[in-house]
A and B are shown apart, each in its own frame.
Chain A
Amino acid sequence: NAGVTQTPKFRILKIGQSMTLQCTQDMNHNYMYWYRQDPGMGLKLIYYSVGAGITDKGEVPNGYNVSRSTTEDFPLRLELAAPSQTSVYFCASTRQGETEKLFFGSGTQLSVL
């Protein structure tokens, strides 16, 4: 199993550009999450999903959108990139009932200039 896979690993955006961070997992986990990690800080929850077709806001959702059309995929969309969105983004997943431990992807480092 590959686990949680994120693409791209690095990206530089100009202010106002848009992009989608991809996340896919092959563990049949129903719960998926997007976190951002600013330098020297902990992880902040952006959005999460408890299953296909269901998404909800986390602590810092402004400026982002998500969708969950399949169990495997949970893309994160930035519509109008701003310097404040410069961060490392982590996708994670877990399965309710079996484990509450999050499995993380390796992250996407995003810079908005």
Chain B
Amino acid sequence: GESVGLHLPTLSVQEGDNSIINCAYSNSASDYFIWYKQESGKGPQFIIDIRSNMDKRQGQRVTVLLNKTVKHLSLQIAATQPGDSAVYFCAENPARLYNFNKFYFGSGTKLNVKP
């Protein structure tokens, strides 16, 4: 089956620094990827998405990079703030292959922002 994994389970950064969270995926048919943020005790919230016809997409303080050659994507958070402390998940969706939305999630990276 599909496998979406993360390189680092926990990442600690200083407030104001940039954060980079990595994710590897195994299904070469996946053509849509999403990053979610999950705060303690809450459901995941959408951050940013990217389609496989792009290699970079920017949002507000966040950038997602996609490298299809090595099946890797990353989430970059600029000027990390205490409110960014959460678990971050990447999810892949091979929807185009199966003609419906079916998301596969990685195990998550916990981001700790130190004041």
Say whether B103 contacts A106, CB under 8 Å. Answer: no
Q: Does B101 contact A (CB under 8 A)?
A: yes
Knowing A31-B100, A96-B101, the reply to whether A101 touches B43 (Cβ < 8 A) is: no
Knowing A42-B105, A50-B100, the reply to whether A104 touches B44 (Cβ < 8 A) is: yes
Q: Does A94 contact B (CB under 8 A)?
A: yes
Q: Does B73 contact A (CB under 8 A)?
A: no
Q: Does A45 contact B (CB under 8 A)?
A: yes
Say whether A45 contacts B46, CB under 8 Å. Answer: no
Contacting residues of chain A (25-50) with chain B, CB-CB under 8 angstroms: 31, 33, 35, 40-45, 48, 50
Say whether B108 contacts A42, CB under 8 Å. Answer: yes
Bound state CA distance, A41 and B104, in angstroms? 12
Say whether A100 contacts B95, CB under 8 Å. Answer: yes
Chain A residues close to B by CB (< 8 Å): 4, 31, 33, 35, 40-45, 48, 50, 58-59, 90, 92, 94, 96, 100-107
Chain B residues close to A by CB (< 8 Å): 1, 4, 9, 32, 34, 36, 41-46, 49, 89, 91, 93, 95, 100-108
